[in-house]
Every structure is written in structure tokens, then in C-alpha cells.
Amino acid sequence: MKYLATCVVMALLGCTCALPRYMDNFTPEQINAELRSLFGYANEDAVVGAKGIDDSLAIILDEFRTSLQNGFPAYGIPPLDPLFLEHGNIRIDSTTADLRGSFDNVTINKISAYFINNVHMDVLRMKVTFDLFFDSIDTFGDRYDIDGVLAVLPIYGTGPFQFSLLNVSLTGEVKMGLVNGSVQVLDMPVDLNFPAVFSNLEGLMGGGSMAEMVNQMIMDFAPTIFNEIKAPIISAFVGRVVAFANSMLQGLTFDELLDIILGIGGAK
């Protein structure tokens, strides 16, 4: 569950592993051009409609769904919705669960199916706040293998599975500042919450009524377990996102960033 949650969170904010490596040898001018290109599709709707910065950001987030579905071929990044994971390890240490295991051939769906509750830029404070909502993020796998303790019950099992996060909320802030004249991301507090999950791990405890009982326990305990273990997960992915964002923003003034968001500089 921990590994799956990590993958979901990282996928929501884009491919933070591959892009920085691709751009290692870029000049500041090339990075600036890439940033303008990424935001360029907000140009017509934002400027002609005179909707302002917040609506431009909403348009960018809305269009980003297509990018997640199509991937980023120029960077060698495949489609991210659905997201395919060949193999991963499960390790959960919390007051409620001590679990070890692995999974194979997993597909995560609906990463791009988010609702934009709110996105707002405070220009004076150089801060963007966002609030996204997902009805569900659905995971299907050919095989899981797990062993450990949930609450006080020893559990084990292997087989195909389905696991969904329900009513997912992704909120956060992007706090920016100037470093040697360039706009940079200084901090990015992010939170991910879901009040419920659906779990169907076939073969738990040998199947039958015991499998149904343990799946229900997983559904009952999963939100609490995630809240206990999510801090280091979120911190790890935020670090990668901030590093990538700052490599893109290097050499860009705040006024230039605003121009790009509004589409004014998209053709430069």
C-alpha cells in the first residue's frame, strides 16, 4: 500500500524522475524555452478571455490531463494514465500494521481524472495554492504476496488484486521567492488524504470468509495507516518536484513567469 501510494502521488505531479536527467545538459535559454512551451497552451483561452492568472492556471491543469494520458514522448516518458508498474515491494511499519511483501504487473487508472476545486496565485506573496479531488484512483494487479500483522491478526496471502483509493484530496502550496534574481520554489507543503478505500485481495488467508474479513479490515484501517506513514513519502516526492521545478525556473524572473502563465510569452 505504501509503495502504491508513492507511485500515485508522484504520477499526479508528473514524471519527476526522468525530466531532470533529460535536461541536465540544457542551457538556461533552452530551459526557458521548454518552460514557455509547456505553458504555451494556456495562451489563447487565458489572454483572449481575459480571465487572469487563476483561470490560466486552471486551464493549464485541465490540459495537463491530456499530457498524463499521452505521456511525454520527447522525454522518453510513456503514458502515465494508465500507469503500469512491473514490480514493487511492500513495506509498512505503523502502530496498526507490520507488513512485508511485493506485487507484480500493476495498472493504476484515473490519475488524470481529477477535479480542480481551486487553484490560486497570490502574486504579492509569490505563492500558488491548489486543491484537487479524485472520485477514485483504481489499481489492478496480477499478483500480490504479503505477510505480516494487521492490528493483532497475523495475515498472509497471494493472488490477483484490486485496490482503490476513494474520494482522494490532494492539496498544497507552492511557495516561491527570488534567489539571485531568479524565481525559485522555496517550499512546497503538500497533503494527500482519502477517507475510504476498496480492497479485494484474492487469496488472503486462503480465501473464503477469512479473505472477506481481512479485506474489510484493510478497508477499515487503510486511511489511518496511510496517515501514519505518509510524511516521509510526501517529503521524498516533494524534494524531487522542487528540484525539477527550480531547474526549469533558473534564470527566469517572476514577471517572466507571470507572462508565461498568461501565455504572453508563449511564442518567444
Grade residue 143 by pLDDT with cuts at 50, 70 and 90. very high
Question: Which pLDDT score is estimated for 11?
Answer: 43
Grade residue 7 by pLDDT with cuts at 50, 70 and 90. very low
147 pLDDT above the threshold of 90: yes
pLDDT tens string 209-265 = 999 999 999 999 999 999 999 998 899 889 988 988 898 888 899 999 888 888 753
> What DSSP line would sit under the chain, residue for residue?
-HHHHHHHHHHHT--TTHHHHHTTT--HHHHHHHHHHHHGGGHHHHHHTT-HHHHHHHHHHHHHHHHHHH-BGGGTBPP-SSEEEEEEEEEEESSSEEEEEEEEEEEEE-TT-EEEEEEEEETTTTEEEEEEEEEEEEEEEEEEEEEEEETTEEEEEEEEEEEEEEEEEEEEEEEEEEETTEEEEEE--EEEE-SEEEEEETTGGGSHHHHHHHHHHHHHHHHHHHHHHHHHHHHHHHHHHHHHHHHHHTT--HHHHHHHHHTTTTT-
Question: Which pLDDT score is estimated for 106?
Answer: 95
105 pLDDT above the threshold of 60: yes
136 pLDDT above the threshold of 90: yes
Question: Looking at residues 124-142, what average pLDDT do you find?
Answer: 96
94 pLDDT above the threshold of 60: yes
pLDDT tens string 42-93 = 444 444 333 588 999 999 899 889 988 998 787 677 888 999 999 999 899 9
Question: Which pLDDT score is estimated for 31?
Answer: 53
- Indicate the CATH number for domain 2-262: 3.15.10.30
Domain boundaries, the chain: 2-262
